[in-house]
Structure 1
Amino acid sequence: MADVVNPQITDAVTQTNVKVVAEAPSQAMGNLYQVASHASGLSIQNAVHSQQAMNQLTTAVVSKACQLIMDIAE
């Protein structure tokens, strides 16, 4: 025969389980938003880095072009 458990204990366990199950969808959406925000941030950082690298290349190309023009003038 099963032992009788205090109804307050079973109620506390039931309420805890219901609370966890009820909060799961909102926590999942929170995690999804966090991951999406992080991915967007990384994408923007990557775009900025690429733009800075292109600016450095442009500066080098312009400097070399100016040097070649000056060499032609001599």
Structure 2
Amino acid sequence: MATVNPQITDSVTQSNVQVVGSAPATAIATLSQVTSHAVSLALQNAVSQQQALNIIGNATVAAAVQQILAVGGRS
């Protein structure tokens, strides 16, 4: 069986240590990005719902004014 050069094994070990060492920071960064994305989608949905309710409100006011004017015209 051939002996592996110690410099090669040391290089592989250092690379593995670097990957394992940076994993928690990467996980926290990913969690932060996912959370920010979820919050931004929730806010976007809230704005969209508010706009839809404003459109319904405008239509309701227009219908009420139309009925008021129709009643006022009859008398």
The alignment's TM-score, normalised by the length of structure 2, stands at 0.94
Q: Count matched residues.
A: 73
Q: Deviations over 1:26-49 (max 9, x none)?
A: 000011000000000000000000
Helix, strand or coil at the partner of 1:40: helix
Does residue 68 of structure 2 align to residue 63 of structure 1? no
Q: 2:45 maps to which residue?
A: 46
Q: What's the % identity of the aligned pairs?
A: 51
TM-fit CA distance, 1:4? 1.3
Gaps of 5+ in 2: none
* 2: CA distance, partners of 1:64 / 1:5: 85
Gaps of 5+ in 1: none
The alignment's TM-score, normalised by the length of structure 1, stands at 0.96
